[in-house]
Structure formats: structure tokens, C-alpha cells
Chains A and B, each alone.
Chain A
Amino acid sequence: MSVELDAKGLNCPLPILKAKKAIKDLPAGDVLRVLSTDPGSVKDFEAFCRSTGNELLSSADDGGVYTFEIKKTAA
């Protein structure tokens, strides 16, 4: 299963805060797909995943829209 979170147009720290909230409700193993336009979120989602122990499956830049796929692996 995967869930999408549209955080486009939001600035720091909102994409992270919304991702945290969204991932909390997911069962382990599910994937959260985050869309963002904040260039800072590229580094921030790497740090978020390292810190929380969730797995960053992919990080892509499609002309200023960033897509992150995060697999919930932490409790």
C-alpha cells in the first residue's frame, strides 16, 4: 500500500511535520509518497529518515517538484 502526501507550496518545516503525521497512521511496511516544492526538503527528508529509522526508497526531482518515497520501517 502507498499513501500520497501533497506538500507542494509549503515551506520548512511543514513538509516534515505533515510527513511525520501521515506516517504515524501507516502500518509498518507501507510507503508514504511525499510531493514537495521546497528545495531544502531534499536534505531534510534524508535526515528525517536517518533520524526516525524509516527507509528512504527514492528521492527524485522533476523540474522543481520533489518526490520522496518513504517506507515505514520504524515503530
Chain B
Amino acid sequence: MSNTDGKKMSIIVTKGTLDWAYPPFILATTAASLGVQVTLFFTFYGLQLLKKDLGHLKISTLGNPGMEMPMGGMHMSMPNVVSMLPGVDSMASSMMKGLMKKKGVASLEDLREATQDLECRMIACQMTVDLFELKQDQLIDGLEYAGAATWVEVATDSEINLFI
């Protein structure tokens, strides 16, 4: 007997940074593995997570005092005046990717592939696709293109609705 029979979850995905790309894909794949039907609705900067190549995703240390990276047994945070220098985001992003690999954290590419393998429904917001002049051939296959009404229909039938 399963507790998740017929249960549904939707996630609105709005952020396009390397760190914030993780929660939606982690929750989607985990919920789907537990038997929940999952729908992801990607809008605004969340559309970045649908580009064929995810290598461009970065973290930003700017305005993020909670980000302390472990380093040689200590923790390092970045003052805003340093964060704004050219190259700092790229350096911090490479550090984060290195750390994730070392700690056995899944790559985003793998998590996104698992999301599709587990038959999560993935919807790209048509309005923001148009707004940012994205072409469908820049984005991965297997997406639906739709608007807010499609999400509302899913959400009214879901036990869990998240906005990330």
C-alpha cells in the first residue's frame, strides 16, 4: 500500500543560478521516485535550466552573506566589494562545482535527465520564452509550451505546490 498513490506536486521554477537550479530538480526526482506525479513550470530565469547546455549556469556571491564556502577547514565568505569584480562569479562557480563533485552531489545534467526519465511533466512558460527571445531549438526536447492557466489547472489538482 503506497501513501503517494495519485498524489501530485507542482513546482514553479523561477531562478537561473547554479545553486538555485538544484532544489527543483532534487524535489522533482525524489517525489517522482516516491510515486508522486510531478509538474515543473519554468518561467523567467528558470528557463535557463532548460537550455541544452547547462555549463553557463553560475552562482553569485553578491548580496549573499549566507554563502560560506568551506576551505582548508575554515569557511570563507566574500565581501560584496570583492563579489562585484569581474571573474569572481566564475571562480566561485568553479569552486562550487568542484566541491559538489568531491561530495558526491549529482550534476545538474544528471538530475535533469533523471527528471525526464521519471516522466515529470516539464512546461516552459511561453510568455517568458517570447520575452527573452528564446528559440525552441535552444532548449531541450520533451518540453510543453504553455501559460499560467495550464499551471493553475495542475495546481488546483495537486496536494503540493511550490514556488522556487
Contact = CB atoms under 8 A, between A and B. Distances in A.
Interface in B105-121: 105-106, 114, 118
Given A51-B2, A53-B1, A13 B33 contact: yes
A9 B26 CA distance: 17
Interface residues of A, number: 18
Given A52-B2, A53-B1, A74-B2, A14 B30 contact: no
A9 B29 contact: no
Contacts, number: 46
Interface residues of B, number: 16
Chain A interface, DSSP helix/strand/loop, else mixed: helix
Given A51-B2, A51-B3, A51-B4, A11 B34 contact: no
A16 interface: yes
B147 interface: no
A10 interface: yes
Interface string A39-67: 00000000110111100000000000000
Given A13-B30, A17-B114, A20-B34, 5 more contacts: A14-B104, A50-B3, A51-B4, A53-B2, A53-B3
B30 to A, nearest CB: 4
Contact of A51 (B35, B106, B118): B35
A17 B28 CA distance: 11
Given A50-B3, A52-B4, A12 B34 contact: no
